[in-house]
Amino acid sequence: MGQRARKRLRRRPAAAGITGASAGGHLAALTVVTAEPGVQVKAAGIFFPPTDFVKWGDGPPSYDRIGALFFTGGVKGKTEQEINEAARKMSPVFNIKPGLPPFLIFHGDADPLVPLQQSQELVEALNKAGDAAELIVKPGGAHPWPTIAEEVAKMADWFDKNL
């Protein structure tokens, strides 16, 4: 968080932003899109977040691998409908609504763990709902990348402007 944002927070504690990377980015996005009325998150800045557990890159994710995110004990014994409903509930892209705070998302185009499509879908869904969202793609960026401190500084400046 930038110096101006910290000064503002001292004056206006309700003007809080949320941030996270990878799984933390998923949780930050899910927190914002499923927040109850009155939650005071004013901006979301995230890095390479998983956002769609129904479609992962060019196909579905491996539910055997990530099923514990949806059910205690994984997906064994669960129907396809139960798995799909749980995956949608845990996917920020399926929980978008108008009136969300602005999002800034950074994602590398060479990420071997979380496909760029995940951030692209989130930004598309937010914009379709009329919410402000920007995706900055880091050419050659993996998960993360060596110069990520530069993007963290950009995000801090963005938080300064949006909080």
The enclosing domain of 13 has a CATH number of 3.40.50.1820
Q: What is the pLDDT of residue 49?
A: 98
pLDDT at 16 over 60: yes
On whether residue 85 sits in a domain, the answer given is: no
On whether residue 63 sits in a domain, the answer given is: no
What tens digit of pLDDT does each residue of 42-56 get?
A: 999 999 999 999 999
Q: How far is CA 32 from CA 11, 39, 60, 109, 110, in A?
A: 23, 9, 24, 25, 27
Q: What is the pLDDT of residue 10?
A: 60
CB 30 within 8 A of CB 95: yes
pLDDT at 8 over 80: no
On whether residue 66 sits in a domain, the answer given is: no
Residue range(s) defining the domain that contains residue 109: 3-52+91-162
Record the pTM: 0.87
Which is higher by pLDDT, 39 or 22? 22
Which is higher by pLDDT, 8 or 87? 87
CB 138 within 8 A of CB 108: yes
On whether residue 137 sits in a domain, the answer given is: yes
What's the pLDDT band for 140 if we cut at 50, 70, 90? very high
pLDDT at 156 over 70: yes
On whether residue 133 sits in a domain, the answer given is: yes
Q: What is the pLDDT of residue 113?
A: 94
Q: Is residue 135 helix, strand or coil?
A: strand
What's the pLDDT band for 58 if we cut at 50, 70, 90? confident
On whether residue 83 sits in a domain, the answer given is: no
The beta strands (E) that lie in the chain are given as 16-21, 41-47, 103-108, 133-138
CB 69 within 8 A of CB 23: no
On whether residue 62 sits in a domain, the answer given is: no
On whether residue 69 sits in a domain, the answer given is: no
User: Structural domain tally of the chain?
Assistant: 1
